[in-house]
Chains A and B, each alone.
Chain A
Amino acid sequence: MDGTRTRRSLGLAGRINLVVVMTLVLGLGLVAWLFAASLTSARESIVDRNLQHESDILYLSIENFMMPGEAPIAARFFSEVAGLGSGYRLGLYRRNGEEAFSDNATINTVNANVGRIRFQPRSATVAPSSMGIPERPLLERATSIPPESVFFMWKEGGKTYKRVYRPLLNLPKCTACHGSDHTIRGVIDLRADISDTLRAETVTVAASASGFALMSIALAAIIGRLLRAVVVDPVLAIGRLCLDVTGGDFSGRVDVERNDEIGGLASTVNGMVEGLRERYELTKYVSVGTISSLASGQDARRVERTLLFTDVRGFTSYTEKHGAEAILAVLNRLLDNQAQIIVGCGGDIDKFVGDEVVAVFSGDDAPVRACDAASKIRAAVSAGADLYDSLAVGIGISTGQVVQGMVGSSRRADFTVLGDAVNIASRLCALAKPGQILLCDCTRDRLPSGAFPIDGPYKARLKGKAERQTVYIMTESPAAGGKKEAGDEA
């Protein structure tokens, strides 16, 4: 779970950046490594070649001093070269690892081989300066058959040396003095101080590596910037727009004027939001019942409903005296106010027919809520006489079985109600005087006693009904009582 979260919080830009940085680090790192490696190997081969060369020269010098039997001159030459310093150190070792010229061992052998005292043994032998040669296994490799020059790194006294054990052969011309029982006499041990070179190399590699690193960072930053501007910001803007739309705000637009995929996506989203807005606007013209029936299926059902009809009294003559815009403004204000009250009381606007509102209430307390809505509408309309140009409404309410279902063609249909209760409510509405609310007896019977001030019963003749119907009037003040006729008190 945690992992998912970290991943998500990395974000698109972060992830792309990560890949970019990784690619750069790997690629440039590889280049830096190759660079360092080639630098090192170039330096090594130069140092090794120099060492080999110098040891060759020393070898030939020693050989040529030795041949005329001038071993002491060779020894002096050797120690003088060794004392030259300047980064080079020099040693000469027998093949058993003892330092040459350090004791009388060789002198004694030579004297024995030539059968006379060729060299005077030294009275005081030079104390061996060290414990003999270091790195015995390398000495053994250098003096094995076939022998080879062995190069290696050596650290001493804070300095780094490249060191070589260069084998010396017991040549046929040496055998007269040194005997024929061995092939290798020993090694020249030569070392070059490469501390400075190494330091310079390290600095170069470090500098170029940090250069590469800086380049990686700069490139990553530039690419990150670019990605942000080109991809991430537009995507975030689209996301915000979608959030707004989810919250019911259809006014936003993504502002990406580009010819690429993101631009295409933005204009698609803009078009989609525009389409959604239009459809949302359309839902205002469709009853809640229609919309919910779309979700829950559109089968026709027989149900009990309370119908509420309102109608503006004298509207026809009003239209003859006023301009079209004024008429619509007043009518819309009137319808809007009524619709708000009806919805507030849990009713559903079924339709507006001209200046008429048809609303449906469902549920056990549908009659109560319908009557509540009716009395609120009457109060609101009379309180807002200025707003509505003193127009008033008549209201009819009826309760009974209706058939509810989709009515219309396959292209245009409404989810609406049909039945006697609908007709009765319509007739009651037509009968009502301005500001009057008429109820059928079914509605009145379902109201708790005393909930509303009810006057009646009255008998009224309704269009399409043979018998006179029982009708009640909801008064504005508590009922005055008495048996009266509804409508024209006919």
Chain B
Amino acid sequence: MKRDGSASNCGMLLACAAALFIASYAASCAAPPRPTLVPDGYRSWSLTTNVRLDYPIPGHEDRYRVIQMNEKGFTFTRAEGPSGRVDFPEGTIIAKDIFPTSNPGPTDLPVMLTAMIKAPSDPDARGGWLWVIKDLSSGMETLQKGDFCVRCHANANEAHPYGSKNPGGAFSDYVFFVPGRQSAASSTGAY
């Protein structure tokens, strides 16, 4: 009897330890799944630029790109005066289709989507935006929690070689192609 008792004590200890482990792992893994970030109908949104984006850029390289933005985004504000600061409202979605080649035919479909979603209060936001890569064949969205996207896009807030080139270095809310600006400048690319 004695011996059995001791053995089961021992087992109980192990069981407790195991339960503790499992509980702590489960707690660290349990995060509520996010709903779809970029809605399917984004291709019906308006474009942010007429520039033909087929020239090579770092980050997206030399594949043909099309940028569209939801209606909310077009209500962005631009400060009068010399600062010309641009701010996009919360809920703005900018979706950039990326095609497989620099000169796709009419039947070629984009393979990838990169998107920026304005959500300043989201803990995963960097520079006030969520940065998303979506694989269009699988529909899988990946949130970029590092500083990869935002580091490069910080260059949109100073003079840069694209679109309007932002010669005054106005804060542009991390967006390179702010509608209504680029037409004035001769971009690196062509129309």
Contact = CB atoms under 8 A, between A and B. Distances in A.
Given A146-B144, A146-B148, A23 B57 contact: no
A19 B10 contact: yes
Interface stretch (B37-45, B68-76, B158-166): B158-166
Contacts of B160: 172-173
Given A169-B152, A176-B161, A20 B13 contact: no
Interface in A431-462: none
Given A172-B152, A172-B161, A16 B58 contact: no
Nearest to A56: B147
A213 to B, nearest CB: 17
**Interface magnitude class on chain A:** 20 to 34
A15 B3 contact: yes
Given A16-B6, A19-B7, A172 B144 contact: no
Nearest to B56: A180
Contact of B56 (A23, A169, A181): A181
B2 A16 contact: yes
B13 A171 contact: no
Find the residue from B56, B144, B148 having the highest chain A CB count within 10 A: B148
A172 B57 contact: yes
B148 A175 contact: no
A148 B59 CA distance: 14
A26 interface: yes
Interface in B123-160: 133, 144, 146, 148-149, 151-152, 155-156, 158-160
Given A172-B58, A175-B58, A148 B162 contact: no
A27 B151 CA distance: 49
B90 interface: no
Interface in A286-311: none
A181 B160 CA distance: 16
A30 B17 CA distance: 8
B10 A175 contact: no
A22 B9 CA distance: 11
Interface in B43-74: 55-59, 61-62
A20 B13 CA distance: 12
Contacts of A12: 2
B14 interface: yes
Shortest beta-carbon contacts, A-B, top 9 = A19-B6, A170-B58, A180-B56, A172-B155, A146-B148, A183-B58, A23-B10, A172-B160, A183-B59
Given A146-B144, A180-B62, A183-B58, 9 more contacts: A26-B13, A147-B148, A171-B151, A172-B58, A172-B156, A172-B160, A175-B57, A180-B56, A181-B62
